[in-house]
Amino acid sequence: MRISDYIEQSFSNLWKKKLRTFLTIFGVVIGIGALVSMISFGKGVQKNVTDTFMELELFNYVFVYPRSEDSQTDESSQEPNTPEKASRQVRLLDDDFLREVTKIKGVEWAVPEVRFPAMIRFRQNEEFSLIQVLPADICESGLIRLRAGRFYTSDDENALIISDSLLRRLKITEPQTVIGQEIELSTMAVDFSLSNLSNIISFFRGRGLPFSKQNYTFTIAGVAERKGGIGGMPLRSDVFIDRSASEQMKKLSLTSIWDFFQSPQQAEGYSVVNIKLSSIKYIESVKAQIDDWCLKAFALIDQGEEFKKGFLFMDMILFAVGMIAVVVASMGIINTMMMSILERYKEIGIMKAVGASDRDVKKIFLFESGVIGFLGGIFGLFLGWMVSMVINQVVNYFLARQGVPYMDYFSFPWWLCLGAVVFSILVSLTAGIYPTLRAARVDPVVALRHD
């Protein structure tokens, strides 16, 4: 028999038991659909994270921190006394460091991460946030993506950029309507002047802190998309102002809670400096130079293997969950094929009596299993795609109300689509092995006597 004959006979035999065939294929469809949805979600998450990193060029950033005194002591005790060691001095993260680090080959720019807390007041609404100081030329480098308005310049007086997420918390849904309007920032500063005498007295009595409230009025120049929010990101605030405006403000600078644990020498400089490189090929040379200055450098690309392990672990979990439905579907295939053998017991005996070999019988039932897997894989892939698209639209609908831009949370690369169909066929063939062997062992004499 030709392959086309086996396929035609398989469809004919399955069509005779339409309901049972439909239910069996439907089980495979559910299993493959669940598996495809799980894997596509994992690949979608990986694609979104990778695309975001590539779009923001986060792998081109190096973050510089001062070494703690304990680590400096440990390293000095372990290294032998050499002229090179004696010449190495701990650098301070100050303006001199910024000027010198920008001279290193491959460095595009370097800015300190300066943030301070403030109360934002706009249209009778208040919201607490951290203000980040960002020079005007860095804003225009592509680090910030605007949704409305423009970037502030060094000539602008008290202009700022606010994120769309903060506007939503302030109950503003249309970013274009706030451009050019005034917004008030209230900061806290340590004040031991006579004008703050009441708070100073309360402080020495252990009932308060010597802080005074300072109010400043700014003009909204632009509205930015919120991109930060996690460690290792150059932008982690909702409001950005120029350095010249920051220097005129009385404030309590606070990049992180660890600022309280800095030594007096470290407190004189910046706590973090963000360095942008023109290419990732300069990362190692820049890090080596920073290490020579007894500073600590961190680059996201160093965590590449950790990211891969995390994604692999997530894929394994999603695959294991999806395989539960596939295993259940394979049990249905085995049951269907066994029932088919019992119903066609006499037919198998007749085929063997007229000259069909065990190999021919095996092929007939294996092709039937393969057809079930093929149809289940095709419709399962379609079901997985449909369910994923519906979930994606629903999730984006609710997130859009929070101002989150549209995003594809599921990804269907070509190898996943092809692999789903091939995997479905292989699972079905595997499930049909035992029924096929049972059919091949049928004794034609016994089968012809079977009622």
DSSP string, 244-276: HHHHTS-----SSGGGGG--HHHHTS-S-EEEE
Cβ atoms of 282 and 107 closer than 8 Å: yes
The span from the CA of 5 to the CA of 406, in Å, is: 50
Cβ atoms of 300 and 62 closer than 8 Å: no
Question: What does the pLDDT look like over 27-41, one tens digit per residue?
Answer: 999 999 999 999 999
The span from the CA of 3 to the CA of 336, in Å, is: 22
Decide if pLDDT at 211 tops 70.
no
Decide if pLDDT at 184 tops 50.
yes
Decide if pLDDT at 449 tops 90.
no
Q: Percentage of the chain surpassing pLDDT 90?
A: 19
The span from the CA of 421 to the CA of 198, in Å, is: 76
- The predicted pLDDT at position 86 comes to 44
Q: What is the DSSP letter of 403?
A: T
Pairing mode, strands 182-190 and 211-224: antiparallel
CA distances from 403 to 53, 166, 284 (A): 21, 10, 38
- The predicted pLDDT at position 228 comes to 47
- The predicted pLDDT at position 209 comes to 53
Closest CA to 435 of 307, 331, 280, 289: 331
The span from the CA of 66 to the CA of 73, in Å, is: 13
Could you tell me the two tokens for 38?
């799980």
Question: What does the pLDDT look like over 169-179, one tens digit per residue?
Answer: 888 888 899 99
Question: What does the pLDDT look like over 75-109, one tens digit per residue?
Answer: 444 555 554 444 455 677 888 888 888 888 988 88
- The predicted pLDDT at position 121 comes to 92
- The predicted pLDDT at position 403 comes to 64
User: What are the backbone angles phi and psi of residue 407, rounded to the nearest 5°?
Assistant: -150, 140
- The predicted pLDDT at position 263 comes to 54
The span from the CA of 284 to the CA of 293, in Å, is: 14
Question: What does the pLDDT look like over 260-305, one tens digit per residue?
Answer: 455 555 556 788 888 888 888 888 898 888 888 888 888 878 777 7
Closest CA to 166 of 116, 120, 229, 231: 120
Question: What does the pLDDT look like over 368-424, one tens digit per residue?
Answer: 888 999 999 999 999 999 999 999 999 988 887 776 778 889 999 999 999 999 999
